[in-house]
Each structure stands twice: as structure tokens, then as C-alpha cells.
Amino acid sequence: MYDEKVVKKAKAIHAEIYGKNPTTVAYAPGRIEVLGNHTDYNAGTTFSCAINMGHCFCISASDKPGVRLTAGDLKETTEFDPSNGDALEKKFQWANYVKGVMHYLRDFDVEINNVDCTFLGSIPMGAGLSSSAALEVATAYAVLAYTGKEIDKIDIAKIGQRAEHEFAGCSCGLLDQFSSIYGVHHGLIHSDFRTLETYPVKLPDDVVFLMINPNVKHALAESPYNARRKSCEKAAAQLNALVDYEVSALRDIPFKDFEAHKDKIDPEAAQRATHVVGEIYRVEEGVKLLKEGELEAFGQYLYDSHETSRTSFENSCAELDIVVEAAREAGALGARLSGGGWGGSAIALVHADQADAVCAKIIKICKTKGFEPTAETIIPSAGATVVE
């Protein structure tokens, strides 16, 4: 299942710009992060799902060398040589995710040249729903299909991550790319970033997730994201010196041991790590609760997660805090910021038959606080696919 509307529109724009239909079309979804905030680059685990919005990537052959690339929404076109490893100038930042993926695919003997490409997404920009990872994954799937090559899905995810690190300046983990690749229809996925394994977990039929976007700016490369990653690494290194087993990442320190030693390490690093270690615990306990149908207790973990985002990791913002409180007041089972933070969207877990009422109430409360969020019900969706 993919977003048919965006695929149809992308193909039409491609034909309009280049005067011919694409021969290869791929699609990759965005994601919501359900639990496991900033745990991925700490070798931890996450709970997420692919969503019913994503990016479509179209390719057709060209007689001109290099890659011509059009951003479907802007109807702007740029050109580049994928063998060149430099990022494009800032005004073409949107093209860097594509260039990065095409460049790093070359390490797997996948070379693309003489092509016209178009991409179009249905994920609202800056909503914190992994629009960039969806674009990276859609690019990789399309290029592999066009060139007739196959590589491991984990390598596709790592190529996307490398494009983020080197071409966009964000030292992200693999959560977004994994969610976009391994998403399952009507289910969540549990991902382990040490073993790089995922498995699906069914979402009970009587609950849905709402995505509530206060529409505040969200740009991870300019946020304290990279600084937080460094603080977590510092905490792991200092804890490693205090315990008699190896702590190569925060994943390795159980909650109980962290509590016993946190006062002996750098206070700022300890504060950030409090959120991450708690999140890893909540993911593992949360999976069990969801499987047992303990929705209230599971939802409470979402609220707990938001609370340590706010107080310990400090990656929330005033509008997200208001949305989460509004969700609580409106009767949601749980709510939290989803994704990197410092803007982006919150998610709320609600009983399906109350979704519209809860959603309306959240918006109404936010309006009294001076802003009007956009909200949608999320349909957990299948991962990336080659459409044609």
C-alpha cells in the first residue's frame, strides 16, 4: 500500500517537466516514533511505524550526462554528478539527500548517470515525520530498480543515514530509515539498533494514533541534536569506567545501575542520559504491555517519555508541551513528542471511536493558547516499495 495520490502527481509532474513518462517509480513512507526517543544512536531499541504519507521518486533515461533532479512541489530543477562527493549549495539542500544516496550507492557498484528524476512528497515539511529519510529511501529503491541491482536493506538504511551525516550535517541514527523500509501495514515495528533486527507488533484494532503538528520550525542540523549525541556518548564513556562490565553505549547500562552511578558522572551528560536510559526501559516494557492489551499503562509510558524529554533531554518546546497537556485533558491514553524534537509533531494514542472528539478538543484547547495545530489520524503503513 502506498500513497497513490502522491505517486500519480509525481508522475504527471515528471512528464510535464521532461516531456516523457518515468520508467521507474518508487515510494517510501515517513514515520512516527512511538517510544524510544534518541535511543537509536545509543545502540538502543525503538517502537515506531511507517505512516500513510511519503515520498515518490521517478526516473527516466536522458541523453545528457549526470542527473537532472526536479523537486515536484517547487518545480525547481538542479543538476549534479553523483560521482562528486560534495554537498550542493544550501539553496539546493533538498537535492543533497538524493545526491548523497546516489553518491554512496557507488560504494556498492551501483552507478547512475544520464537520468532525469523527479520527487514529490505528501509529508508536511518540518513536521518531524522523517520526510528526508523517506526521500533517501525512495531514491535508493528507485535507483536500484532502474539499474537492476540489489543490496541489503540494512545497507540502504545506512546509505540514507550517511547522506544525512555528510550531506545534511545531522548525526542521526537509523530509526527513520528503518521505519521507512521495514514498516508493516496496520502494525508497529520494534527495532534493535545493536543487532539491527526488527519485528512487527500488532496495534490493537480499537486504538489509533493522532499526529498533531503545531507547525513550528524543525531543522535538526541546526538544533542541539548533535550536541545531545555527544553528551550521551560522554555519559556512556564515564559510566564504563564505573562498572565492571563494558558500556560501549547507553544501551549497555541497566536502569538500576544508571540510577546508582549517575551522580558520579558529568551532570549535564547524566541529565541527558536519564531520558535515554528511561526510554530504552520503556520500549522493552511497552512492547510487553501492548501485547497484553494494557493500553492505559502503555499510554502512560508515552506521557512519561514526554516528561523526561521536557525536563531531562530538553528537546521539547512550549507548543509541544501544550499539545501533550491538551491531549491529556481531552482524554488521550498517552501523548508525547515524536522524533528529534525542538519542534515537529506530537502523537497521541486514542480509542478509535473517540479519535474525532479527542482531536477536536486538542485543537480547541491549543487555540485558546494562541496557536492552531493541524491534526491527522495515522494509518500504520507498509514500508518502501518499487511501484513500477
What are the residues binding ligand GLA (CB under 6 A)?
33, 37-38, 40-41, 130, 172-173, 175-176, 339-340
DSSP-derived pairing of the beta strands 115-121 and 67-71: parallel
CB of 279 to ligand GLA, least distance (A): 8
- Cβ-based burial of 65 (10 A; exposed 0-12, middle 13-18, buried ≥19): exposed
- Closer CB to ligand GLA, residue 80 or residue 167? 167
Query: Nearest distance from residue 276's CB to ligand GLA, in Å?
Result: 9
Q: Check if the beta carbon of residue 7 is closer than 8 Å to that of residue 387.
A: yes
Helix (H) or strand (E) holding 323: helix 318-330
What does the alpha-carbon distance between residue 227 and residue 20 come to, in Å, rounded to a whole number?
A: 46
* Spatial distance between the Cα atoms of 172 and 6, rounded to a whole number of angstroms: 27
Nearest distance from C-beta of residue 329 to ligand GLA, angstroms: 26
Report the alpha-carbon distance of residue 301 to residue 307 in Å, rounded. Answer: 10
Q: How far is the CB of 96 from ligand GLA (least distance, A)?
A: 15
Alpha helices in 106-216 (DSSP H): 131-147, 153-163, 175-182
Nearer to ligand GLA, 60 or 161 (CB): 161
Q: From the CB of 348, what's the least distance to ligand GLA, in Å? A: 18
Q: Which is nearer to ligand GLA, 173 or 286 (CB)?
A: 173
Q: Which is nearer to ligand GLA, 38 or 68 (CB)?
A: 38
Smallest gap from residue 128 Cβ to ligand GLA (A): 7
Strands 374-378, 334-337: pairing is: unpaired
Exposed (0-12), middle (13-18) or buried (19+): which is 64, by Cβ within 10 Å?
Answer: exposed
* Catalytic site residue from 40, 176, 252, 304: 176
DSSP string for residues in 292-317: TT-HHHHHHHHHHHHHHIIIII----
CB of 40 to ligand GLA, least distance (A): 5
Of 34 and 115, the one with the shorter C-beta distance to ligand GLA is 34
- State in Å, rounded, how far the first CA of the chain is from the last one: 13
Cell numbers describing residue 156: 540502504
| Cβ atoms 63, 268 nearer than 8 A | no
Amino acid sitting at position 66: G
What are the percentages of helix, strand and coil residues in the chain, rounded to 5?
A: 45, 20, 30
Q: Distance between CA 160 and CA 144 in Å, rounded?
A: 14
Closer to ligand GLA by Cβ: residue 122 or 130: 130
Whichever of 37 and 60 has its CB closer to ligand GLA, that residue is: 37
> Where are the alpha helices (H) located in 38-115, listed in sequence order?
93-105
Q: Is 356 marked active-site?
A: no
Q: Which residues have a catalytic role annotated?
A: 176
